[in-house]
Amino acid sequence: MLWVFTLSLSAQQEGRHRFDPKKFEVEMEQYITRQAALTPVEASKFFPLYREMQKKQRACFHEMKRCRHVDANDIEACGKAVRRMDEIDIQIKMIQQEYHLKFMNVIPANKVLEVIKAENRFHRQAFKKAAGRPAPSQEN
């Protein structure tokens, strides 16, 4: 979920640096490949599933973003939006769970865990970079 905020922050800083989603994706995949020590064969099986998962999650994030555009004075609408956002959060977690199982069918579980950790590190570093703070060179 952190990557959505990273993308949003990056998009807000268009004047300084134009966010390039393709470049972001390539850099993230290279980082994950290195950090999780994926072989070329493992990467070729893993990343199509990973991109599929991200596409489903992105749809959820877009719906969640729409939920935030509610009149703050309309208590009933706000309550409905909060409940829907909670449902979407659960849906995102279910997508992750589904794909983590799929990942373990194409790469070993220890590498799936390394992928998850690497993805989190990459997003933290990207967020820090977008916020103008230097990212550490290697975070464990």
> Is pLDDT at 18 greater than 80 in this prediction?
no
Instruction: Tell me the HSE value of 132 on the side-chain side, using a 13 A CA sphere.
Output: 3
pLDDT digits (tens, 9 = 90+) for 28-39: 999 999 999 999
Euclidean distance between CA atoms 58 and 126, whole angstroms: 18
Question: pTM of the prediction?
Answer: 0.77
Q: For residue 21, what pLDDT is reported?
A: 85
> Is pLDDT at 95 greater than 90 in this prediction?
yes
> Is pLDDT at 108 greater than 70 in this prediction?
yes
Q: Which three-class secondary structure string do you get for 95-119?
A: HHHHHHHHHHHHCCHHHHHHHHHHH
Between residues 95 and 10, which one has the greater pLDDT?
95
User: Rg of the Cα trace of the chain?
Assistant: 17
Please state, as a whole number, how many other Cβ atoms lie within 10 Å of the Cβ of residue 47. 18
State both tokens at 17. Answer: 């640096």
What mean pLDDT, rounded, does the chain reach?
A: 87
> Is pLDDT at 11 greater than 90 in this prediction?
no
Least confident of 10-14, 23-27, 96-100: 10-14
Residue pair 108/31 in contact (Cβ under 8 Å)? The answer is no
Between residues 136 and 122, which one has the greater pLDDT?
122
